[in-house]
Amino acid sequence: MLRFYSPVLILQIYCLYHAYKNKKDYFWYLIIFMVPLLGAILYLLTQVFNKTDLEKVADEIVTIIVPSKKVKDAEKRLAFADTFQNRVALADAHFENADYENASKHYEAALKGNFKKDFYVMAQMISAMSQSQNYEEVIRLADEIKDKHEFKNSKSQYIYGLALDKLGRIEEAEQNLKVIDQRYSNYGERLTLAKFYYKNGKRAKAVEVLDEIIIESEHMTKPNRRIYRQVITNVRKFREELDNE
């Protein structure tokens, strides 16, 4: 399959992916596009090779072009040694490929013996079940780990709150969603919280969350303004909609 791609194009694809993944400045996108070979080499020398080794870079390039490679490699390791780590690695590979059904299957298979209530695996299963819109299972899994300290203020608690909302358990949903309202973080989640408040007749609380985000956005660093530009735009738009009611 790789013979259909020129070496320069493969290098460009990797550099653009790495720049996007690591939130690099737009300057690098321009360099990589405008001067394909030299720009990519410059990017690798200054932004990649000082952080990782050549073998890892090559592996990532192949993974971008052949997304199933990571799954196949993980399957081989699991076939060689059926360990907890190898089983979870295969589940993670499926999760990254948005194959939530197979991811859940392997996460569940890993939950045995000393790892029966492993928090990471349970949290990943909660995310997978949420992506599959299996909200009953999200709640069942979350109920098993919600007393653990790692659950408090975690992504899993937020997903749990969303699932409770989907099933009409509004008061419980609010208790779990509102913990995500933390200053200078979680902007997308807080926008969702504001919409939750508004939907459930708590307009004042929705406005309060939105106004806090807008104020915080005025003090963001340039990188954060770039990262959260669309979220902040949506926050302002929703706030204007409430004003125009």
Question: What mean pLDDT do residues 40-49 have?
Answer: 76
Which amino acid belongs to residue 105? K
- pLDDT band at 4; cut points 50, 70, 90: very low
Residue 15: per-residue pLDDT? 86
User: Residue range 174-178: average pLDDT?
Assistant: 97
Domain at 70-194, CATH homologous superfamily: Tetratricopeptide repeat domain (1.25.40.10)
Distance (Å, whole) CA 49 – CA 15: 12
Confidence at residue 84, expressed as pLDDT on a 0 to 100 scale:
95
Whole-angstrom distance, CA of residue 111 vs CA of residue 73? 22
For the chain, the domains span 2-65, 70-194, 195-245
* Choice between 30 and 178, residue whose per-residue pLDDT is larger: 178
Which of 3 and 176 is assigned the larger pLDDT? 176
Tell me which residue has tokens 């985000």: 213
Q: Across all residues in the chain, what is the average pLDDT? A: 88
Lookup: tokens for 242: 């409430």
Nearest to 68 by CA among 41, 28, 99: 99
Least confident of 34-48, 99-113, 156-170: 34-48
Q: What is the mean pLDDT of residues 171-199?
A: 96
Residue 48 and residue 18 in contact, taking contact as beta carbons nearer than 8 Å: yes
Query: What one-character-per-residue DSSP string does 73-89 give?
Result: HHHHHHHH---HHHHHH
d(CA 165, CA 159): 10
Say which residue, 200 or 65, is predicted with more confidence: 200
- What type of residue is 78? L
pTM of the model: 0.74
Cα(168)–Cα(203) distance, rounded to whole angstroms?
Answer: 19
The pLDDT of residue 55 is 56
pLDDT band at 64 (very low <50, low <70, confident <90, very high): low
Written as six digits, the tokens of 238 are 């929703």
- Mind listing the pLDDT tens digit for each residue in 95-153? 998 999 999 999 999 999 889 989 999 999 999 999 999 999 999 999 999 999 999 99
User: pLDDT confidence of 2, banded at 50, 70, 90?
Assistant: very low
Question: Across residues 72-83, what is the average pLDDT?
Answer: 93
Residues 190-202 as b/e (b if ≥16 CB within 10 A, e otherwise) read bbbbbebbbeeee
pLDDT at 40: 82
User: Alpha-carbon distance 164 to 193, whole Å?
Assistant: 13
Residue 3 has pLDDT above 60, yes or no: no
Tens-digit pLDDT profile for residues 207-221: 999 999 999 999 998
Please answer whether residues 40 and 8 qualify as being in contact, where contact means their C-beta atoms are separated by less than 8 angstroms. yes
Residue 11's closest CA among 33, 40, 50, 45? 40
Look at 200 and 13; give whichever has higher pLDDT: 200
Mean pLDDT, residues 226-230: 91
What's the burial of 163, exposed, middle or buried (CB within 10 Å: 0-12/13-18/19+)?
buried
Question: Tens of pLDDT along 233-244?
Answer: 999 999 999 998
Share of the chain above pLDDT 90, in %: 62
